[in-house]
């Protein structure tokens, strides 16, 4: 892994205790909307600004894009890495004090880029403790991130070579059930027979359950929104990269998310990730 990629991952790890520490006073809504038309919370805007400032300063990063800002920032000589962040995934959970995350993608191509251009992806999970899962070079590692006495952050590997358990046990599906398409509802009925529901409403928290226990997470195509809710560059691709690096599979309903064409920076996509057999079964019905 090149130095710039290491620096990007470390920068997000170092920022994690700070992001977490700044949440409590930033639960209010702002008057602003993000590029996807969602009302931003003070915490969304703040985490975005903090990460933008630090990540754009890294040598070798030439583009920075965030789910919380419309335009891609050009921040260095062209030909470097393009970094994407979802600064606070699941931030609507802030009101009810439930889990949230930060999602990172590092692409070796200009945005919008296909997931096959990812060279690393990671996420921070602000749960009862702060953990970070990093995928690179086909390997996935889970860290605990803690603040040191000096006020900096330290990450300690707690699980190396993370792979999805062979015997899956959990599922979590987003969207309102009456809004599911018939083919997804059929699939869901099948899965409900076999696995138990674990759904928290923040993609990162729900994906981390699948990474821990095995199973399937989906934010599916909807009748009202065939393109689903999640964004390919900021959420779908990085999560697919993590899950596939851990021996699982990803899909947009037709093909691996990592093979899907990227046309726009904020484009949405249905997201299905989990154990290979469960994703194959979904694709065979679609």
Task: State which residue, 69 or 229, has the beta carbon closest to ligand FDP.
Answer: 229
Query: What 8-state DSSP symbol labels residue 202?
Result: -
Task: State which residue, 202 or 243, has the beta carbon closest to ligand FDP.
Answer: 202
Token pair recorded at residue 134? 């990093």
Task: State which residue, 86 or 244, has the beta carbon closest to Zn ion.
Answer: 86
The burial of 286, by beta-carbon neighbours within 10 Å (0-12 exposed, 13-18 middle, 19 or more buried), is given as middle
Min dist CB 67 to Zn ion, Å, is 6
244 binds, among ligand FDP, Zn ion, none (CB under 5 to 8 A by kind): none
216 lies in the site for ligand FDP, by CB under 6 A: no
Q: Which of 164, 157, 142, 172 is nearest to 271 (CA)?
A: 172
Candidates 44, 86, 206, 244: give the one binding Zn ion (CB under 5 A). 86
Q: Is 229 annotated as a binding residue?
A: yes
CB 231 within 8 A of CB 269: yes
Task: State which residue, 107 or 187, has the beta carbon closest to Zn ion.
Answer: 107
- Stretch of 29-37, 88-96, 128-136, 218-226 lying at the interface with Zn ion (CB under 5 A): 88-96
Q: Which of 13, 241, 1 is nearest to 144 (CA)?
A: 13
Min dist CB 174 to ligand FDP, Å, is 5
Candidates 187, 219, 241, 272: give the one binding ligand FDP (CB under 6 A). 219
The site map against ligand FDP for 73-102 (x = CB under 6 A) is ----------------xxxx----------
Compute how many residues bind Zn ion; rule: CB under 5 A: 2
Q: Which of 91, 109, 110 is nearest to 100 (CA)?
A: 91
174 lies in the site for ligand FDP, by CB under 6 A: yes
Q: Is 179 annotated as a binding residue?
A: no
Q: Is 88 annotated as a binding residue?
A: yes
By CB under 5 A, the residues from 89 to 118 that bind Zn ion are 89
CB 34 within 8 A of CB 44: yes
Task: State which residue, 143 or 219, has the beta carbon closest to ligand FDP.
Answer: 219
- Stretch of 68-76, 161-169, 228-236, 250-258 lying at the interface with ligand FDP (CB under 6 A): 228-236
Helix (H) or strand (E) holding 280: helix 276-285
Token pair recorded at residue 39? 């009302």
Query: Cα–Cα distance between 203 and 27 in angstroms, integer?
Result: 19
Q: Which of 187, 185, 166, 163 is nearest to 176 (CA)?
A: 185
43 lies in the site for ligand FDP, by CB under 6 A: no
∠ CA(54), CA(117), CA(153), 5° rounding?
30
Write the CA distances from 169 to 62, 192, 245, integer angstroms.
41, 10, 20
Min dist CB 164 to ligand FDP, Å, is 19
Ramachandran angles phi, psi of 153, nearest 5°: -115, 150
Ramachandran angles phi, psi of 82, nearest 5°: -105, 125
Q: Which residues bind ligand FDP (CB under 6 A)?
A: 89-92, 174-175, 201-203, 219, 229-230, 235
Q: Which residues bind Zn ion (CB under 5 A)?
A: 86, 89
């Amino acid at each position: 892994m090149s130095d710039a990629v290491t620096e990007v991952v470390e920068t997000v790890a170092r920022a994690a205790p700070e992001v977490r520490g700044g949440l409590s006073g930033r639960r209010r809504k702002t008057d602003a909307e993000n590029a996807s038309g969602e009302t931003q919370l003070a915490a969304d805007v703040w985490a975005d600004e903090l990460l933008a400032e630090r990540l754009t300063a890294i040598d070798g990063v030439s583009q920075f894009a965030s789910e919380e800002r419309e335009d891609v920032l050009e921040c260095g000589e062209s030909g470097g890495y393009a970094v994407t962040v979802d600064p606070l995934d699941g931030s609507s959970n802030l009101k009810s004090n439930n889990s949230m995350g930060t999602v990172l993608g590092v692409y070796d191509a200009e945005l919008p880029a296909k997931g096959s251009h990812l060279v690393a992806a990671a996420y921070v999970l602000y749960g009862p403790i702060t953990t970070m899962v990093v995928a690179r070079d086909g390997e996935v590692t889970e860290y605990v991130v803690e603040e040191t006495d000096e006020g900096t952050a330290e990450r300690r590997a707690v699980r190396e070579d993370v792979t999805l358990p062979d015997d899956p046990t959990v599922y979590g599906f987003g969207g309102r059930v009456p809004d599911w398409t018939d083919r997804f509802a059929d699939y869901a009925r099948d899965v409900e027979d076999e696995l138990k529901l674990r759904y928290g409403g923040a993609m990162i928290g729900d994906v981390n359950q699948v990474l821990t226990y095995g199973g399937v997470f989906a934010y599916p195509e909807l009748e009202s929104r065939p393109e689903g809710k999640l964004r390919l560059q900021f959420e779908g691709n990085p999560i697919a990269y993590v899950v596939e690096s851990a021996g699982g599979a990803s899909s947009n309903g037709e093909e691996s998310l990592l093979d899907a064409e990227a046309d726009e920076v904020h484009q949405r996509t249905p997201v299905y990730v989990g154990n290979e057999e469960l994703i194959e079964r979904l694709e065979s019905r679609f």
